[in-house]
Amino acid sequence: MRPRGSLHSNEPALRGESSGGAAVQQRTFRGRSLADVLPQIKEELGEDAVAVEVRHGRSGGVGGFFAQKCVEVDAVPGVEEAAQALAPPDDADFESLLAAAQSAPAADPVVSAAVPGSWDQLIEHAREAADERAAVSEVPGAPRAREGASALAALFAPDAAPVPPPSPAPAAVAAPAPMVEVAPSWPDAALAIQRSLSGKGMDAGLVAEIVGEAVDHLLPFSSEGALRPLVAGQLARCLPPLPRRRPGRVVIGFVGAGGAGKTKCVSRLALAYARRGDRPVACLTLRPKDHGAELMADVSEAGVAVHAAEDAAGACAFVERLDERAVVVVDTPGVSPKAEAELRALAAELRRLQLDECHLTLPATLSPWAAGELVRGTRSLGVDALALTHVDETEHLGAAIGAAIDARLPISYVGRGGGTRGGLRPALVEALALELVG
Quote the least distance from Cβ 383 to ligand GTP, whole Å.
15
- Our finding on whether 263 is near Mg ion (CB under 5 A) is yes
Q: Which stretch binds Mg ion (CB under 5 A): 7-15, 254-262, 300-308, 419-427?
A: 254-262
The three-state secondary structure class of 56 is strand
Partner from ligand GTP, Mg ion, none contacting 259, C-beta within 5 to 8 A by type: ligand GTP
- Our finding on whether 396 is near ligand GTP (CB under 6 A) is no
**Nearest partner of 110 among 60, 50, 38, judged by Cα:** 38
**Nearest partner of 1 among 45, 57, 68, 46, judged by Cα:** 57
Among 57, 280, 337, 415, binds ligand GTP (CB under 6 A): 415
Quote the least distance from Cβ 209 to ligand GTP, whole Å.
29
Quote the least distance from Cβ 403 to ligand GTP, whole Å.
17
Quote the least distance from Cβ 360 to Mg ion, whole Å.
14
Which of residues 256 and 377 has its CB atom nearest to ligand GTP in the complex? 256
Quote the least distance from Cβ 288 to Mg ion, whole Å.
7
Q: What are the respective helix, strand and coil percentages of the chain, to the nearest 5?
A: 40, 20, 40
Which of residues 26 and 389 has its CB atom nearest to ligand GTP in the complex? 389
**Nearest partner of 30 among 50, 52, 49, 56, judged by Cα:** 56
Which of residues 39 and 417 has its CB atom nearest to ligand GTP in the complex? 417
C-alpha distances (whole Å) from 321 to each of 246, 278, 291 are 19, 18, 20
* E strand or H helix that includes residue 328: strand 327-331
Residues between 307 and 326 that touch Mg ion (CB under 5 A)? none
Which of residues 55 and 264 has its CB atom nearest to ligand GTP in the complex? 264
User: What residues does 55 pair with on adjacent strands?
Assistant: 72
Quote the least distance from Cβ 325 to ligand GTP, whole Å.
27
Quote the least distance from Cβ 260 to ligand GTP, whole Å.
4
Which of residues 417 and 438 has its CB atom nearest to ligand GTP in the complex? 417
Which of residues 318 and 413 has its CB atom nearest to ligand GTP in the complex? 413
Helix locations, 279-366, DSSP H: 293-299, 312-320, 340-353
Partner from ligand GTP, Mg ion, none contacting 117, C-beta within 5 to 8 A by type: none
Which of residues 219 and 381 has its CB atom nearest to ligand GTP in the complex? 381
Which of residues 202 and 299 has its CB atom nearest to Mg ion in the complex? 299
Pairwise CA distance, residues 285 & 325, whole Å: 20
Residues between 336 and 375 that touch ligand GTP (CB under 6 A)? none
Angle at 436 between CA 416 and CA 363, to 5 degrees: 40
- Our finding on whether 382 is near ligand GTP (CB under 6 A) is no
Helix locations, 255-305, DSSP H: 262-276, 293-299
Angle at 146 between CA 140 and CA 148, to 5 degrees: 90
Pairwise CA distance, residues 106 & 308, whole Å: 103
- Our finding on whether 31 is near ligand GTP (CB under 6 A) is no
- Our finding on whether 125 is near ligand GTP (CB under 6 A) is no
Among 95, 128, 340, 392, binds ligand GTP (CB under 6 A): 392
Q: Tell me the one-letter amino acid at 208.
A: A
Pairwise CA distance, residues 108 & 434, whole Å: 74
Q: What is the phi/psi pair of residue 146, to 5°?
A: -100, -35
Quote the least distance from Cβ 203 to Mg ion, whole Å.
30
Question: What is the signed CA dihedral for 343, 345, 347, 350, rounded to 10 degrees?
Answer: -140
Quote the least distance from Cβ 315 to ligand GTP, whole Å.
16
Quote the least distance from Cβ 291 to Mg ion, whole Å.
12
Residues between 237 and 276 that touch ligand GTP (CB under 6 A)? 256, 258-264
Inter-residue contact 227 to 219 (CB < 8 Å): yes
- Our finding on whether 416 is near ligand GTP (CB under 6 A) is yes
State the DSSP code for 180.
S
DSSP E strand boundaries for 60-160: 68-76
Inter-residue contact 40 to 49 (CB < 8 Å): no
Partner from ligand GTP, Mg ion, none contacting 128, C-beta within 5 to 8 A by type: none
- Our finding on whether 437 is near ligand GTP (CB under 6 A) is no
Pairwise CA distance, residues 118 & 343, whole Å: 93
State the DSSP code for 62.
B
Pairwise CA distance, residues 38 & 294, whole Å: 105
Q: Which stretch binds Mg ion (CB under 5 A): 89-97, 151-159, 255-263, 359-367?
A: 255-263
Contacts with ligand GTP, residue ranges (CB under 6 A)? 256, 258-264, 334, 389-390, 392-393, 415-418
Contacts with Mg ion, residue ranges (CB under 5 A)? 262-263
